[in-house]
Chains A and B, each alone.
Chain A
Amino acid sequence: MVRLVVGFVLAMLIARPLGAQRTPTEVLSRAVILYEELQLERAVVLLREVASPGNGGATADERLSAMKYLGAAYALLGTRDSAVAYFQRTLERDPFTDLPPAIFTAQERQLFAVARQRTFVVGAKVPQDTGFVPGQTMVPLRFVTTRHARVHASVRRAGAGEPVASFRWTGEGAAESSWDGLDEGGGRLAPGRYLLEVSATSTADSLTDTVAVQFDVRYDHPPLEDTVGLEAASLLPERRPPSVARSRLAVGVAAAAFAIAVPTAIGHGELGSTRKHATVMASVSVSSGIAAFVLLRRGAAIPANIRENARRREEHVRLNREIRERNAARIAGARMIITPVSAEPR
């Protein structure tokens, strides 16, 4: 009985800490609820726990959200400098951060505006898994600067020097540039990894900031046809082997022998068949064999096969040209898929 009680107590001692280990997501959710219930001090404790660099379990987005709510909570608590500092840290990590008026108060938004003026950062985003036909439709590239600035953005292939597309403008806040997916020469981009590099210079104090976003380019099109190889087995021999000449001579000799044998073998001995005709025929037959032998030894090419092979090669070239044309048509109508790889850590 004593052992049972001791075991129960030990189990309870172990179970309590396990129950207290909530995930950063749960902690953040709880903190936001506390913030909305204006239990700001309790919310700050939890938000600081999520935003802490030592909290390895929290994602970058969760830390970012925690910092934003920390700034908002401090703004409501009246600690202006802390609020601005957390808002600045939020903007430095994600320049696209905003405080929607439906959620945040004017007091919070005012301090957020102060933080924007004290921070100069530029941000860029490429759309997620956007499929479009280059040259026919456009894809929006989104940018943001916290202050009025001159912005230069360029798209370049990873590892390449020259940009394939570039954009320039001067402005403040969010901006959007439409890109047709083509390079500056109007050509399609090769599939692979690209960088959207953005540099911004503040017009007020010449502060600069840069950011780079990696994205992959690929194309979605119907399967391409493979070109056909010309196999040696599909071609006819263009030269005769030397044995052919000898065999033709043998045929001529055999035909001559046949003609010579006819009067004896077929003719009736009693009639004493004439051999004149057979002799002439045999002479012509053997001469034909010799002529064939000489001509074949002199030139072993087979003109008919050479012509036929030329026709087959032309047919093969035509077939592959048609395949390439069909493939080119499929590629021309292919949708370009842009997939962001990851934001450059700031």
Chain B
Amino acid sequence: MSIRLACAVIVLSLTAMGLRAQLPVHAGVSMSLTEHRVTAGAGLERSSGTLFGVWASTTLPWQTLEARASLRAGSLGANEASAVDRDVGELTVSGVLPLNASIGLNAGVVVRRYESAFAAQRWVWGELGLDGRMSMLDDALDLSAGLSIIPWVSVSGISRPDLAVAARSMVAYNTGRLTATMRYRLERFDFAARQGVRRLEELSSLELGVAWRVR
């Protein structure tokens, strides 16, 4: 609960800072169709559900850095007998530094918490990647896609993964102050085998968002 509160404070703070600094601010809500897959020796555990979130973004004067903060929370229901229901809360703070009109350097920090009836697990990681971006129809339509490596991951209770990568794709339609977005993201975490058991984990989400340009 305290994490969710902290996340809300961060998102609201970013929005408030942008507004105070007379920066362009977009604030919106999102709904993410999420599917979590994990295998850790007990077969494939699959759970899925919907996460709801809020997010805000702004463009900072320094290097026209696009900063974004999002907060998502929801429940994933078990799809297999071996899986368990769990709640998920996530805070993401990220930035895209445009290298030119169509390439940007993406960096971000994600804090995620899984909570089930049996245990709770906190994930924290930092990621770094490249985004390709194309604006069409006089900025009415934006398409972007990117890949990230996740070089630093901390997962409570288990060791860090050997391989962590993420891929994402986005379509945004802008009309006046309103922006509608669809984001697809797939995260993959491969942990080292321990006692002959290798843990693999994956989270796929399709996020639908609507944002309003506050300024």
Contacts and interface: CB of A to CB of B under 8 A. Distances in A.
Interface of A: 248, 251-252, 255, 258-259, 262-263, 265-268, 270-274, 276-278, 280-281, 284-285, 288-289, 291-292, 295-296, 302-304
A262 B167 contact: yes
A268 B190 contact: yes
B134 interface: yes
B169 A255 contact: yes
Given A268-B190, A271-B44, A281-B184, A288 B171 contact: yes
Contacts of B182: 280-281, 284
Contacts of B138: 302-304
B137 A292 contact: yes
Size range of the interface on B? 20 to 34
B136 A248 contact: yes
Given A262-B169, A276-B206, A277-B184, 7 more contacts: A255-B171, A259-B184, A266-B167, A268-B200, A271-B38, A280-B182, A288-B143
Nearest to A269: B200
Given A277-B35, A281-B169, A284-B182, A268 B188 contact: yes
Interface of B: 33, 35, 37-39, 44, 134, 136-138, 141, 143-145, 147, 165-167, 169, 171, 173, 182, 184, 186, 188, 190, 200, 202, 204-206
Which secondary structure dominates chain A's binding surface? helix
Given A277-B35, A292-B136, A255 B143 contact: yes
A271 B37 contact: yes
A251 B134 contact: yes
Contacts of A263: 186, 204
29 contacts: A248-B134, A248-B137, A251-B136, A255-B143, A255-B145, A258-B169, A259-B145, A262-B169, A262-B186, A263-B204, A266-B166, A266-B167, A266-B186, A268-B188, A270-B39, A270-B200, A271-B38, A271-B44, A271-B200, A272-B44, A273-B186, A277-B206, A278-B186, A280-B206, A281-B169, A284-B171, A291-B141, A292-B137, A295-B137
A73 to B, nearest CB: 98
Contact of A281 (B39, B173, B190, B206): B206
Contacts of B33: 277
Contacts of A295: 137
A277 B136 contact: no
A280 B35 CA distance: 14
